[in-house]
Structure 1
Amino acid sequence: MGELYAAELVLPVFAIMLVVSGKASSTLRSAIFWKFFLAGMVMIAGYMISDLIAGTSQQNYLRAWGRNAVLLSDLLALSVMAGSDKRYIWWYIFGVTIGTLIYLQTHGIVLNNYTWKLEGYGRAILMLVLLLGYFLPNLMTIGLIVCFGLVSIYMDSRSQGAISLLLAGLLWVRKANPVRLNISARNMAKFVIAGIVVLLMILIAMAQTGDEYSDRRGASNVERFGALKIGFIAITDSPFIGFGSWGQGTKKYAEMYRKETEKDLRHLGQTYIQYTDTFMPHSQILQSWMEGGILSAFFFLFFGYKLLASMKYVVFGRYLDYLTPIYIITLFGSAWNLVMSPYSGNHRLGIAMAVAIVCSLTIERRKAN
């Protein structure tokens, strides 16, 4: 039926303890918390309506509804926790990071390009670096983040590496402006310099690894952008009602996707190409829209809007502290995933953490005003 992570069992219990103790009162009084709750309920309703109309199999709709219910539980619990005391964010990420590394080691999962990107090694090591930033000088933290970003690109994890290098550039600019970042000629010049340096590092690292990874990267681009194109076609054909959970009614679009990508993939030397009779776009917004219609997409659209507002606040308007790197990497990474990653079980906690940070920042701004 799907995976349930240990944190997803512990979080609701801890959240209930905070509510009972009265520490969650500020979160429960905040409008943003209840807006996300409402958006989550609307998403679940969208899936139910679309599955009933599409005649989705019981196995598929139960898996999808369960995924949505657990996501809602995760984001509510983490929002209560983050809104009660921002220090809980640091400790939660510390626990998840150490737990991930212990799991990978005890299950004999070796460190390689695949596990760095898809099994959690890269993410765990990055978060460990950001957690250690609490104890380190800013410049040393920035240097470690740059090293991690370059290593990620050399491990063929392009988006993770690029976002990490972007984080390092932003922290360098903010280092001289710890209270807030005002728009001035000097600060704009720093942004331009940081942007050029980050771009050059990405381009050089990509060029140096091009011979080794060019075919795989080319195939990935073909598949991702092909899926986005067909996904847009699908939601245009049926913008209000989805095709059902897990793409059960998408055989037509699966064939369109095959025709869109097969020739280019074979040109890139891909000899083993596996297609199915269902289609899901590699995008959280488009996938939820295709599965559950406009009601389900509403959650991710609202989430995206709040992500952008929170990113602007953290980069320009918020004081610099030990959580700033964690906030930036989570918000920017979630914005990328919203467009370029699937809505799957292993993304639940990431989405929930980003929602919790949005809620925490909103409460923080309200208290400051």
Structure 2
Amino acid sequence: MDLVQRAKNITLTPKTEWPVIAEENTATIDLFKNYVAPLAAIPAVAMFIGMCIIGISVPLLGTIRVSIISGLVNLVMTFASALISVFLASLIINALAPQFGTEKNPAQALKVAVYSFTPLFLAAILFIFPEAGMLSLLAGCYSVYLLYLGLPVLMKTPVDKAPAYTAVSIICVILLAIVFSRVVHAITGDAFTPSIHSSTPEVNGALGELEKMSKKMEAANKKMEAAKKSGDPQAEMKAATDALGAALGAGSEAEVVDKDKLKALLPEAIGNLKRNSLEGEKSAMGEFKIAKAEAHYADENNHQIRITITDTAGSKMFGAMFAWGAIEQEKETDHGYEKMGKVNGRPTHERFQKDGPSGEYSLLIAGRFIVETRGDNVDMASIKTASAAVGYDKLEAMKNEGLKK
């Protein structure tokens, strides 16, 4: 199956392509590895670039962007959500089949879900320009039309029942998506709080870890097949979630350190700034795990600094994405400056806004720890001093903790 040709055919000539698809006998893992995963990377990468690199232009406020850390978390969760959404849609389509004069057929239900999503994935490239993202709604409408055309061909649904089958399936998928989005929000918390910054450089490439993810998914395929044979929908959902977690954890070299160890690195005071909050958390989905500690500092003059330490367990995905934001470049305007490069061999990202003033300084340590320091009403020297207060050497000493043997 040629991904480009299939995507082109199902989008431009669906009436002739659906019969071809109906006769194919493609394994679940092959569908996800060779078709869904590459397309699912489009919205993930596009949103990262749009949210963190290009940003949203707001009158009087300038360009609003999320931080690199928030963008990385969003990238991973968007990719995972896309894969899970396709799988859940197939379960819904198959479960609803008897209500519309159709026999259940998990394999065909998966195919009709996978290929109906194609226009949505392709149009997601628009997320590079956040203001144009709403145009992807048109692609969503076309995906509904593809589903309507595909049900009678793949699921053998009576033509007169196809409109109702399509409508009910879409409603159920939307409702389930709302529930799933709340689960994602519970994991990511308030990670997507935007901040105002100047522009960052254009980045290139795609997800270099897709091949490793595919291998992880292939290894987890046996569990998924066994769960399907059991006929238990909950077992199927758990197997799918575990498989996706394993895929997202591909390339991870260690277990994350205990969040309390990260919290211990955040001092009670930095100069005249006193710590007024300290939090730690660990999030996991299968093998994909991150640990995080965060502290907020302030004084009576409203000078504020927030430090976040994130352990990515050596995830190659996170390391590569951070490197995208750390290409060597300097830019300066009347309102501030931005620098990206390396300091003592560590990828760094520094930006400062004179109005306020405000800024942030982020760096990757030992290929797994990301230290992000944000400041308001303080200068960059204070922000860097606060960042160094966590003790980079202490993080370096933890680089082998939890190392998988």
TM-score, normalised via structure 1 length: 0.26
Rg comparison, structure with higher value: 2
In proportion to residue count, which structure has more strand? 2
* Higher helix proportion: 1
